[in-house]
Amino acid sequence: MTPLSHPFIQALTEALGADAVRTGDTIPPERHTDWSGTQPLAPLAWLRPASTAQVSAALRLCHAHRVPVVPQGGLTGLAGGAVPTPGSVALSLERMSAIETLDPVARVATVQAGATLQAVQEAAQAAGCLFGVDLGARGSCQIGGNLATNAGGNGVVQFGMMREQTLGLEVVLADGTVLDMLRPMVKNNTGYDLKQFFIGAEGTLGIITRAQLRLQPAQPARATALAAVPDVTSALELLGRLQARAPGGVAAFELMWQDFLRHALDWTGLPRPFDEDHPLLALTDLSGSDQPALAHALEEVLGQAMEDGLVLDAVLAQSQAQATGLWRLREITAEFPSRLSPINFDISLPQAAIGAFADRCMAALSARFPGHRSLRFGHLGDGNLHLSTDARSLGDLSFAEAEHAVEAIVYALVAEAGGSVSAEHGIGLHKKPHLSASRGPAELAAMRAIKRALDPLNLLNPGKVFDLD
């Protein structure tokens, strides 16, 4: 434990104020790790600056004292990126949570990075707009964390990832320099688009303090359907038809394999959506302003797809309650940590490769671990497959041994298929050993060169994403 009288802690306290610097037992234990369940580690201090100037002052001091800094958002990350590293201070933006401005005509919001995703969504909604990113951790995750992980979620098929929602950023570099890139313009070809370096960098290049976010027009109406499809190829054809019939209106297209549905029905107690078991289910939402027109479009496309053999059966939600019930099936993922001992995968592949890849994974896992319990689901519109294997279904192995064995099988197949080991959750600590399955030596060398240029002392979130040496 670092005594409060330590010159570094004293200097931080003078710069930020006593209530913004905590050490020892006054640091809340939940700040020692994140949702990923990584081994907890107490930071040297926990900092809660209240302004960009204070973030800059804190980083200047850390730089002068050669102390590493781990940025922390809502701690919902699934890759261990926000877990303190030995001898580091953790820096939280929770006191910088203001929605500073929101222009519903230009459809731009300027927000501080500690605002939760839900606060931004609600502010946008109150102004008759929509923020285009949504994910299950919305109530806790922060815009800074969403940007640092380039978060995705259910709406990517319609609006893209966080990168696509970002017009401007303010970032503080490792030495305390403030980079003001808050220029809410779509067109700006004046050299490198520097803000893009920080989106998805998982806090290794700078601390994001403010952001200018793009908003969409409100889409108050939704129509939801669940369709049973014979295979992924048919699901892709169905998605294409929906996008052609409702351009820009497909708000979600989620795929659930039979193994996933079995667990969803068991855990929720909801009635089976269809009398027969089908290999694959596609849950889709159309969004817009005219509910009857959306429902009509959905019905028409599904009807034709059934005639053509692309859809085996389908239900169209007749009420909000029914739509919520269908989505409840997909949202059992929030129960994974309590129901399973999950080894989670977040894989990206060319859309057309997903079906064969998912089957190859299951076959390879079954060959090594007969009777394993694995659940497959994904955001088909973005080529994102999630796979969760229950470590407890793999025999007597410890969790670490089970994880190692399953990752070796799955990531070898990802490399073979030319896919990505992380579609939307990031690399953090957990996927660091597997980064080279998705990035070549020249790409990794370029990333290290950028890191060295912006953070030559390797103080920002060191050891996350990749090691420097």
CA 401 to chain centroid: 26
Q: Are 215 and 107 in contact (CB under 8 A)?
A: yes
What is the distance between the alpha carbons of residues 18 and 373, in angstroms, rounded to a whole number? Answer: 50
Rounded Cα gap, residues 35 and 326, in angstroms: 26
78 binds ligand FAD (CB under 6 A): yes
Options 27, 137, 229, 251; binder of ligand FAD; rule CB under 6 A: 137
**In whole angstroms, what is the distance from residue 437 CA to residue 445 CA?**
15
Which of 38, 112, 146, 219 binds ligand FAD (CB under 6 A)? It is 146
Identify residues 8-37 at the interface with ligand FAD (CB under 6 A): 34-35
Is residue 151 at the binding interface for ligand FAD, with CB under 6 A as the rule? yes
Structure tokens at 133: 């990113």
Considering beta carbons, is residue 146 or 389 the nearer one to ligand FAD?
146
Q: Interface residues for ligand FAD in 222-281 (CB under 6 A)? A: none
Compute the radius of gyration of the chain from its Cα atoms. 23
Q: Is 427 in the site for ligand FAD (CB under 6 A)?
A: no
Q: Does 149 bind ligand FAD (CB under 6 A)?
A: yes
> From the list 170, 295, 461, 462, which residue makes contact with ligand FAD (rule: CB under 6 A)?
461
- Dihedral class, residue 445 (left if φ above 0, else alpha if ψ from -120 to 50, else beta): alpha
CA dihedral for 118, 123, 128, 133, sign (positive or negative): negative
* Residue 145 binds ligand FAD, judged by CB under 6 A: yes
Q: Which is nearer to ligand FAD, 118 or 291 (CB)?
A: 118
The C-alpha angle with vertex 93 and arms to 30 and 156, in degrees rounded to 5, equals 90
74 binds ligand FAD (CB under 6 A): yes
Alpha helices in 331-420 (DSSP H): 336-339, 354-368, 399-417
Q: What share of the chain is helix, strand, coil (3-state, %, to 5)?
A: 40, 20, 40
Smaller CB separation from ligand FAD, 73 or 288: 73
Q: 80, 100 in Cβ contact below 8 A? A: no
Shortest reach from residue 435's CB to ligand FAD, in Å: 14
Token pair belonging to 270: 């909801």
Tell me the window of 37-45, 78-86, 182-190, 438-446 that interacts with ligand FAD (CB under 6 A): 78-86
Residue 147 vs 311, nearer CB to ligand FAD: 147
Number of residues that bind ligand FAD (CB under 6 A): 38
Cβ nearer to ligand FAD, comparing 4 with 447: 447
**Shortest approach of ligand FAD to residue 179 CB, angstroms?**
12
Choose which of 207, 227, 282, 406 interacts with ligand FAD (CB under 6 A): 207
315-354 footprint of ligand FAD as x/- string (CB under 6 A): -------------------x--------------------
311 binds ligand FAD per the rule CB under 6 A: no
Distance in angstroms between the alpha carbons of the first and the last residue of the chain: 29
Using CB under 6 A, pick the residue from 37, 136, 230, 279 that binds ligand FAD.
136
Nearer to ligand FAD, 149 or 243 (CB): 149
Q: CA-to-CA distance for 422 and 411, rounded, in angstroms? A: 10
Q: How remote is the C-alpha of 186 from its chain's centroid?
A: 24
144 touching ligand FAD, by CB under 6 A = yes
Q: Which is nearer to ligand FAD, 208 or 229 (CB)?
A: 208
Measured from each CB, the residue nearest to ligand FAD is: 145
H/E run at residue 314: strand 313-316
Q: Does 113 bind ligand FAD (CB under 6 A)?
A: yes
Span from 129-137, 261-269, 294-302, 439-447 in contact with ligand FAD (CB under 6 A): 129-137
The nearest distance, CB 113 to ligand FAD, in angstroms, is 4
Smallest separation (angstroms) from ligand FAD to the CB of 315: 24
Given 69, 82, 246, 326, the residue binding ligand FAD (CB under 6 A): 82
Where do we find the tokens 């707009």?
A: 129
User: Nearest 5°: phi and psi at 327?
Assistant: -70, -25
Of 23, 52, 54, 72, which lies in the binding site for ligand FAD, with binding defined by CB under 6 A? 72
How far is residue 464's CA from residue 163's CA, in Å, rounded to a whole number? 20
Q: Which of 27, 93, 256, 387 binds ligand FAD (CB under 6 A)?
A: 93
Q: Could you tell me the smallest distance in angstroms from the CB atom of residue 235 to ligand FAD?
A: 19
- Which of 9, 129, 148, 242 is the binder for ligand FAD (CB under 6 A)? 148
CB burial readout 168-193, b (16+ within 10 A) else e: bbbbbbbbbebbebeebeeeeeeeee
Distance CA 320, CA 415 (A): 42
Q: Which two tokens stand for residue 325?
A: 């019930």
> Count of CB atoms within 10 A of residue 444's CB?
13
Whether the CB-CB separation of 389 and 365 falls below 8 Å is answered with: yes
Binding site for ligand FAD (CB under 6 A): 34-35, 70-78, 81-82, 93, 113, 135-137, 141-142, 144-146, 148-149, 151-153, 202-203, 207-208, 334, 424-425, 428, 461, 464
